[in-house]
Amino acid sequence: MLEQGALTGLTVIDLSRLLPGPYASMILADHGARVIAIEDRRFMSDNFFVTTVNRNKEHMSLNLKTSRGRDIFEKLLERADVVIEGFRPGVVERLGIDYPSLSSRHPGIIYCSISGYGQTGPYRDRVGHDVNYLASAGVLDLIGPADSAPSIPGIQIADIAGGGMNAVIGILLAFIARSRTGKGQYIDISMTDGMLGFLSLPMWFREMTGKSPHRSDAVLSHRYACYNTYETADGRYLSIGAVENRFWKVLCEHFGVPQYTPLQYDEVHRQEIIAFMRERFRSKPIAEWEKELAPLEICYAKVNTLDEVLDHPMFRERHMVIDQSDATGKTIRQFGIPVKLGRTPGKLRTPPAAFGQHTKAILSELGYSESEIASLVREGVV
């Protein structure tokens, strides 16, 4: 097994902040890329420095609105392969660090812009957050109770999947293309575009049935008893995902209702079967159900809380929950690396950096003297 990661030798300059861009650069850093994250010092007081996506990175402060700040950025660029930015469309042009400006001097640069609605189109300049991108893409309409308002998920799906993950895919594709052509390219990531891609299955059902999907009323969203969630006696919840009839048959026979086996997707008996399952699952606490259902092949899972996940033996054994010491020696809990490569595995090499922690070290590496660095600090450049 090699010590180096799959992306060792790749240098990434991350100008983004908050979640989508930093999540993308964390994935690259986990697999060996050198990531230098850059933020203006004025953001220190925002309390939105998300430490859980800043591991394995170096972090420096830099004011790109100053000429000296842009000079420093240019020096960093000479060593970089990738630039990630998450500003509103038009900002990088005003700063003079847009892709056409940089690629004219650095034709191999891979430049990834992450925005809510993309760099083109009627929503280009519209502000937004995760809930707005989910809403615009039609995803939010499919989340929540059928007889109530759409529910906002407790996780940032558009930021992470629509933005961060798609950015990584785009960067790796561009990196492969550069290895053949020697030329970098521009990547336009819209978080809303990314969420539209999540509707592949609802779109297929729509084409197949001629009916548009409705909230909590689809084959894979509460319409049938075989793919549903059920409350238990102690107020917890259990998920059942017995889509295939062979799994559904096991559950029906276990509950002594084999007559429901052929009625899995029957419309006439749908509510009757759901009512039976609800009553049955409310008869015992979650712990008893886990013991009872464990030997059976029915596709079930307890709805875990975050606290339960952090102590779950499965995630511990698979190194998805890891204890690590931060710079102060304090033990912090980190999520592991989900993409598990056999020869060049990702690693948690360093804990999350503090805001601007590596500013002086990076400037020294670029050739700035101590007196020059002190001057840059006084002038608010870094």
CA distance 331 to 145: 40
User: Among residues 129, 254, 269, 319, which one is catalytic?
Assistant: 129
User: Among residues 30, 98, 130, 159, which one is catalytic?
Assistant: 159
Helix residue ranges per DSSP H, the chain: 20-30, 67-77, 91-95, 99-103, 130-136, 157, 166-181, 191-196, 200-209, 245-254, 270-281, 286-293, 306-310, 313-317, 359-365, 370-378
> Is 40 part of the annotated catalytic residue set?
no
> Is 159 part of the annotated catalytic residue set?
yes
Given a contact cutoff of 8 angstroms between Cβ atoms, the answer to whether 353 and 60 are in contact is: no
Output DSSP code: residue 150.
P
Given a contact cutoff of 8 angstroms between Cβ atoms, the answer to whether 48 and 16 are in contact is: no
For the chain, what percentages of helix, strand and coil (3-state, to nearest 5) are there? Answer: 40, 15, 45
Please, is 232 exposed, middle or buried when counting C-beta atoms within 10 Å of its C-beta (0-12, 13-18, 19+)?
buried
CA distance 301 to 197: 26
Q: Which two tokens stand for residue 281?
A: 């699952």
**Alpha-carbon torsion, ordered 314, 319, 320, 325, to 10 deg:** 130
- SS3 for 371? helix
Strand order in the sheet with 227-231: 227-231, 237-241, 300-302
CA distance 223 to 103: 52
CA distance 202 to 143: 12
CA distance 134 to 144: 13
Indicate which residues carry an active-site annotation.
129, 159
